[in-house]
Amino acid sequence: MTTIAFIGLGNMGAPMAANLVEAGFPVKAYDINLNAVQQVADKGGIACHSLEELAGSDIYITMLQNGAQVKQVCIDDKQALMAQASKKSLFIDCSSIDVESARILHDEAKAKGLLSLDAPVSGGISGATSGQLTLMLGGSKAAFNKAQEVLEVLGNKIIHTGADGTGQAAKICNNMILGISMAAISEAYALAEKLGLSKQKLFDVS
């Protein structure tokens, strides 16, 4: 059975890891928050308290706050994950980070003979809990194919966006579209109020 190391058990990561446990995968859970680790362990995961304990995993999934954190645990730390990983291990970074950092991780993975995907998600905590996230995946077709059984547990909309870094590019562009749409809606409701149109009636029309 494919062994998964899951690093980053926050509001999104914890339910994602729990879903993988429920699906039958052996999941090594790691976070600096020991309570979060224990919560996943209580559901059947394997509690780990150092990066070294994650060695030997087939797939490594990171769900962290920014590119600096992902690079720290994957390539910069003394016990960096990519340094300890076996050849052909797969790295899936589900964090929402900058494209440059994502491509650095891909380059490091290739140099070590590893597979990698930048795989930011959308769908929020509810999507993470229900396993109905949208995943945007940049990286090789070989990495994408190897990740399929895991991705299908995490999300219901899985899109291979193309080359290294394009998953993060898709997330950034999607966020821009959402932001612009929200601004437009806010302006429309403000204009409606000035023109004497009730917010409810505008809602009914739109």
pLDDT tens-digit map of 60-106: 999 999 999 999 999 987 789 999 999 889 999 999 999 999 999 99
Structure confidence by residue, pLDDT tens digits, 122-147: 999 999 999 999 999 999 999 999 99
Is 0.85 surpassed by the pTM of this model?
A: yes
For the annotated catalytic residues, the residue numbers are: 171
Three-state secondary structure along the chain? CCCEEEECCCCCHHHHHHHHHHCCCCEEEECCCHHHHHHHHHCCCEECCCHHHHCCCCEEEECCCCHHHHHHHHHHCCCCHHHHCCCCCEEEECCCCCHHHHHHHHHHHHHCCCEEEECCEECHHHHHHHCCEEEEEEECHHHHHHHHHHHHHHEEEEEEEECCCHHHHHHHHHHHHHHHHHHHHHHHHHHHHHCCCCHHHHHHHC
